């Protein structure tokens, strides 16, 4: 009960000037990868694991900036120069399923995001899906802010390959793979996307905006830390009421589609690529355009 009283007290104290609040929050992403599960039953050398770890680190460790006010926000990856070499196929796959700039309007309950999928730009529109957050009694300090823990279950977008995980195989299946190392296999047969995942958020009522990184909203304070499946987003810096910051506007580049239409496009293209892969004997021949 004392925890909830503290939350309400903080909301009252900092909510007086909330209408004029604005700021920028910088988030660092960390994603863990199980390399032993990625080899599909085949053994990787330590040198190969080290090389893949470096490539995955370059692809998955990023900085994002959330520019926000009371009602709107724009969420973007911070551009940086990266000299780390990466397999072109892996780089293409990682970028193909990653969202671009994301705009949220809490007043109209709308989210608009830019996505580039295999060289074609899409402008995806959707309503904001607020999770059924359960605020717990746990709290901790993140930087100079008091943060409270909340959890929820999130249904996973079937086109979100950042959530992909290796399928679990029994010993018999692994033995079959090892005994026939020359067998051509569709790599998509070895992964699956979970239907739902648990989300853990740490939010601070000291910044009274119901916002956070990505599509996440709905808590009585800015989300400072977010844990979704294997990925953690941690706020490393906050600039409140900056004199100069990016203008918050919805992105405009790309073909306008709904979320449902975009999921259908991704599925159809993925199925096409899988068919081409199988028909080419596993040589990975790329399919045609849209």
Q: Is residue 40 exposed (0-12), middle (13-18) or buried (19+ Cβ within 10 Å)? A: middle
Domain boundaries, the chain: 2-279
**Is the alpha carbon torsion for 132, 136, 138, 143 positive or negative?**
positive
pLDDT, tens digit (0-9, with 9 covering 90-100), for 215-268: 999 999 999 999 998 889 999 999 999 887 778 999 999 999 999 999 899 888
Q: Is the pLDDT of residue 35 over 60?
A: no
Locate 24 and state its tokens. 């920028």
Question: Rounded to 5 degrees, what are φ and ψ at 85?
Answer: -65, 145
pLDDT, tens digit (0-9, with 9 covering 90-100), for 262-287: 989 988 888 887 787 777 765 555 55
Q: Give how far Cα 132 sits from Cα of 127, 194, 217, Å.
A: 15, 19, 11
Q: Is the pLDDT of residue 65 over 70?
A: yes
**Is the alpha carbon torsion for 90, 92, 93, 99 positive or negative?**
positive
Q: Select the more confidently predicted residue: 183 or 101.
A: 101
Q: How far apart are CA 64 and CA 69, in angstroms?
A: 17
Q: How far apart are CA 92 and CA 195, in angstroms?
A: 24
Percent over 70 (pLDDT), the chain: 62
H helical segments located in the chain = 2-15, 35-38, 46-60, 88-96, 171-179, 259-279
**Is 103:248 a contact under the CB 8 Å cutoff?**
yes
CB atoms within 10 A of CB 114: 19
Element (H, E) at 154: strand 145-155
The pLDDT, as a whole number, for residue 169 is: 55
Interhelix angle 88-96/46-60, nearest 10 degrees: 40
Q: How far apart are CA 26 and CA 77, in angstroms?
A: 10
Alpha carbons within 13 A on the beta-carbon side of 61 = 12
Q: Select the more confidently predicted residue: 36 or 202.
A: 202
The pLDDT, as a whole number, for residue 176 is: 53
Locate 158 and state its tokens. 């079937």
**Is 222:207 a contact under the CB 8 Å cutoff?**
yes
Coil, strand, or helix at residue 234? Answer: strand
**Displacement of CA 81 from its chain's centroid (Å):** 21
CA dihedral 121, 122, 128, 133 (to 10 degrees): -60
Element (H, E) at 240: strand 231-240
Q: How far apart are CA 196 and CA 212, in angstroms?
A: 20
pLDDT, tens digit (0-9, with 9 covering 90-100), for 114-152: 998 888 999 999 999 999 999 999 999 999 999 999 999
């Amino acid at each position: 009960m004392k925890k909830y009283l503290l939350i309400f007290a903080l909301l009252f104290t900092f909510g007086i000037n909330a209408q004029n609040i604005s700021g920028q929050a910088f988030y660092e992403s960390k994603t863990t990868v199980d390399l032993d599960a990625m080899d599909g039953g085949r053994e990787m050398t330590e040198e190969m694991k080290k090389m893949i770890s470096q490539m995955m680190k370059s692809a998955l460790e990023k900085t994002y900036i959330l520019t926000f006010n009371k009602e709107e926000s724009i969420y973007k990856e911070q551009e940086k120069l990266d000299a780390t070499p990466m397999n072109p196929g892996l780089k293409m796959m990682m970028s193909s399923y990653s969202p671009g700039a994301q705009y949220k309007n809490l007043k109209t309950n709308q989210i608009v995001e830019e996505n580039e999928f295999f060289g074609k730009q899409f402008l995806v529109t959707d309503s904001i899906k607020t999770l059924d957050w359960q605020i717990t009694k746990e709290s901790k300090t993140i930087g100079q802010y008091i943060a409270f823990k909340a959890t929820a279950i999130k249904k996973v977008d079937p086109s979100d390959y950042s959530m992909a995980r290796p399928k679990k195989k029994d010993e018999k299946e692994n033995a079959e793979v090892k005994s026939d190392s020359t067998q051509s296999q569709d790599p998509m047969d070895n992964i699956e996307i979970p239907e739902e995942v648990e989300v853990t958020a740490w939010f601070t009522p000291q910044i009274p905006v119901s916002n956070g990184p990505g599509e996440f909203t709905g808590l009585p304070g800015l989300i400072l830390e977010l844990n979704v499946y294997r990925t953690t987003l941690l706020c490393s810096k906050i600039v409140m009421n900056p004199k100069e910051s990016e203008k918050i506007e919805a992105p405009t580049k790309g073909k306008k589609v709904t979320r449902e239409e975009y999921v259908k496009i991704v599925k159809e293209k993925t199925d096409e690529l899988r068919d081409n892969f199988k028909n080419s004997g596993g040589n990975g021949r790329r399919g045609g355009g849209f």
